[in-house]
Amino acid sequence: MKILSLVKYVPESTAKINVMPDGSGIDPKGVKFVMNPFCEFAVEAALQFKEKNSGANAEITALTLGPDTAVDALRTAYAMGVDKAVHLNDPSFEKADDLSVARIIAAAIKNEGFDVIFAGKHAIDYDRGQVGAALAECLGIPHVGAVTDITWSSDFKSATAKRRVEGAEEIVEVQLPALFTIEKGYVEARYPSLPGLMKAKKKPIDAKNAAALGLSADQVTGATQMHGFAPPPARPEGRKLDGEPEQQVAELVRILREDEKLI
């Protein structure tokens, strides 16, 4: 079986994000970038499938789309245990929206014959969660989102997935090939070992640009574009009420009624 895990390079969740002075994007200076945590779940799901199903003879490929620095996410995937890595990197890809990203990835893998594709439920940078479903649509294969468990058939031609829906759990049976986006709680991602990280630095990365995929600039430019970034407005200072409790309550009611118009 051939398995693909999609990975994305994102700012660490605890990083302090500053906006560029001209509002063109975030300032990467001093920001640590890592593999998206939900993509770690996708890689781990692939690795555990391979470890638990030796009869499937699985081969795992990690793929990312992004600038030169995004290759570090692939090095992390290598250190975790994947077999191959593909980096889609072209200046024109910077203008791609989520649907265009899905089309680019589809162009890269359409002839590779992947049986299973794992992706994170969403990325923690823009939190949209659209690429996985869009990629499945581009490839014409089933998609199950926010998966919390998967049971594979004995012949590895179908799978039964569980996913959380509001107030319940949904069970979905699909024929392979299929794409699954992984929810937190399905697996716990392993930590790459130091020897694994060192070895990962020497492993090959299959880099592909737009020309290699047969795509023109028009084909990778998204219809949705971000025209500016701005930090959230400064939070106003709090107000302290003086006096006895009865006086504070009366003043609070007045503020809510007259100043804030909330009651």
Q: Using H for helix, E for strand and C for coil, what is the string for 152-220?
A: ECCCCCEEEEEEEECCEEEEEEEECCEEEEECCCCCCCCCCCHHHHHHHCCCCCEEECCCCCCCCHHHH
Amino acid at residue number 229: F
- Average pLDDT on 90-112 reads 93
- Average pLDDT on 117-131 reads 92
Domains and CATH numbers, the chain: 2-220 (3.40.50.620), 233-263 (no CATH)
pLDDT over 90 percentage in the chain: 68
Picking from 78, 99, 51, the residue whose alpha carbon sits closest to that of residue 198 is: 78
3-state secondary structure of 84: strand
- Residue 233 is encoded by which pair of tokens? 């407005």
Amino acid at residue number 80: M
- Average pLDDT on 196-223 reads 90
- pLDDT for 29: 85
- pLDDT for 28: 84
pLDDT digits (tens, 9 = 90+) for 43-100: 999 999 999 998 889 999 999 999 999 999 999 999 999 999 999 999 999 888 999 9
Cα distances (Å, whole numbers) of residue 180 to 108, 202, 238: 18, 30, 46
- Residue 44 is encoded by which pair of tokens? 């781990």
- pLDDT for 228: 82
The more confident residue out of 30 and 104 is: 104
pLDDT over 70 percentage in the chain: 100
- pLDDT for 51: 95
Cα distances (Å, whole numbers) of residue 95 to 4, 67, 92, 196: 24, 12, 6, 34
- Residue 46 is encoded by which pair of tokens? 């692939």
For the entire predicted model, the pTM comes to 0.86
- Average pLDDT on 191-219 reads 91
Question: 198: exposed, middle or buried (C-beta count within 10 Å: 0-12, 13-18, 19+)?
Answer: exposed
Amino acid at residue number 84: K
The answer to whether 210 touches 107, Cβ cutoff 8 Å, is no
